[in-house]
Amino acid sequence: MLSIDPNAQLCHVCNGPVTVPSAPSPNDWLEVQACHWPTPKQAVFHKFEDHQQLLLNLAHCFEAGQEAQGLSLLKLASCRYDLIQLPLALLSQEVVEAVPPFQRIISWQGKAQSLQELEHIFEAMTAFPARYYRLMLTPTCLKEALLPLQLLQRIQRKDVVAYAEGPRFRWTQLLALWKGSPFLFAAHTSSRSQHYCFTQLKNSFGWPDLPAINALYGVVGAELNQEIAVRLHNYGYRQGAIPALFLPFEVKDFQDFIYQIAYAPTLENLGIPLKGFSIRSPFFRKASSGTQLRVSANVLMDKMANLWLKNETSWSADMTDLDSLRQLFSEAPFLVGDRKAAIWGADRKAQRMAVELQKRGAKVHFVVDNPQKAQTQIGHLGLPCLAAKDFAAPQFEIVVRVSEASENSNPIPFDPEQLPMGALVIDLHQSPCTTALVAQCHRNSIRVIDGREVLAIETREHYHRMVGKELHPEVTRKLTTLHLAGTALPFE
């Protein structure tokens, strides 16, 4: 079981005078990156009234031709700042003498391909006495992203911050806390920056009260900045006293994740094995096969998977979206009935939705760009198929859009205002944000089921499959409502 250092602190990253955050806690730090200010001198002399502990990063003030200015600023800053970050590559006798050891945080930023190489870099850093040491690795692959965590485990020190840089590797900085890191850095906004923002840390992970853990779960996708599963799982783990952490793994190549994270022993050797993960678009099809992977009948039929689970020796894959659709309609059977329904799309997910609606009495039609071509996909269902150009919104009381897009990039294929009174729109999208279709339905008081609500039902199913406990439907609905409204989840 791994626990974080109770003295670990949050450090807000300030990229200029317009992004100075208010410190949620008087014990929080503020990192002032002088290179983003109009002049480094303004950063040094700015008065930060809400912050008691300040860290100054003057790294880019020591570039060629600016050494004298950098030294002058260091001497001034040592009287105003609690910590001053000094890059290893720029250290000289004059620079070191300008800042006393108790104010130094020696930093390194760069690439390393092995743990041995990273250890040599750290040895060079410790030649200079300092209060803290900060290593920021720029990885070229997921395997390298784990090197900082391996270093922290090897050295077993409480004065070293080590993590992989980049929006796709932010989870390594979070995990570093359980390997002894004294700081967690937080961005000012929720944009795709180097660090999670404070709101994400609080809402999705429960900062500052992070639990002891002995296992990891997660979700794998291309864009997971506002992923609801992270919030629901971590809230459920906390409420159920489950010693686990659920992480968002943003990846470019699913196979790299499988072979460098899931199949590799590294996380297990770190004491935090990965035991399961959900899968988001666009990786459903790539997740249906793998070395020594046991697959369910659903995966064999659809050639897609959205859940991987690990037992003691091997991984298994399943496709659970049909269970989510059934659960959706079982919890709200009044939504369907004897109504005319249109489904925009013809893939396997659209077909499963058609079958479920038909079972519940709906008169189902497919809507596609090319009905003749679509017959190869949906002909076996014997349901009518319309061309998109012939779609007449007033004739349909239920309209379903099926999209695997992970971004809010798809245009609205019909005018929701033309739907009849009491119509229902179901937008099965993979976007982390509100889509244009959902937003327009809300503006026009049209009943709409957001794809993220369906995703929450799927998350509940995955939660049960992963940890063997239930996340109550009412709790899921309440938390989903808070999530869609951008409200913090009540971890306390």
Look up residue 224 and give its two tokens: 């997971």
* Contact status, residue 40 vs residue 59, Cβ threshold 8 Å: no
Q: Among the listed ranges 36-40, 144-148, 250-254, 362-366, which one has the minimum average pLDDT value?
A: 36-40
Look up residue 2 and give its two tokens: 């791994």
pLDDT in tens, 184-196: 999 877 666 889 9
pLDDT band of 51, cuts 50, 70, 90 = low
pLDDT in tens, 348-388: 889 989 998 998 899 999 999 999 999 988 999 999 999 99
Sorted by where each begins, the domain ranges of the chain are: 9-209, 211-318+456-479, 324-445
Sequence-distant contacts of 294-301: CB under 8 A, at least 24 apart: 298/322
* Contact status, residue 294 vs residue 273, Cβ threshold 8 Å: no
Whether 324-445 and 9-209 are alike in CATH topology: the answer is no
Q: Which is the CATH superfamily of the domain at 9-209?
A: Aldolase class I (3.20.20.70)
69 class by beta-carbon count within 10 Å (0-12 exposed, 13-18 middle, 19+ buried): middle
Q: What element of type H or E holds 475?
A: helix 473-484
Q: Which amino acid is present at 51?
A: H
The structure's pTM equals: 0.89
pLDDT in tens, 65-86: 666 777 888 888 888 899 999 9
Is the per-residue pLDDT at 441 higher than 90?
yes
Note the CATH number of domain 324-445. Answer: 3.40.50.720
CATH class of 211-318+456-479: alpha beta
CA triple 79-197-275, angle to 5 deg? 125
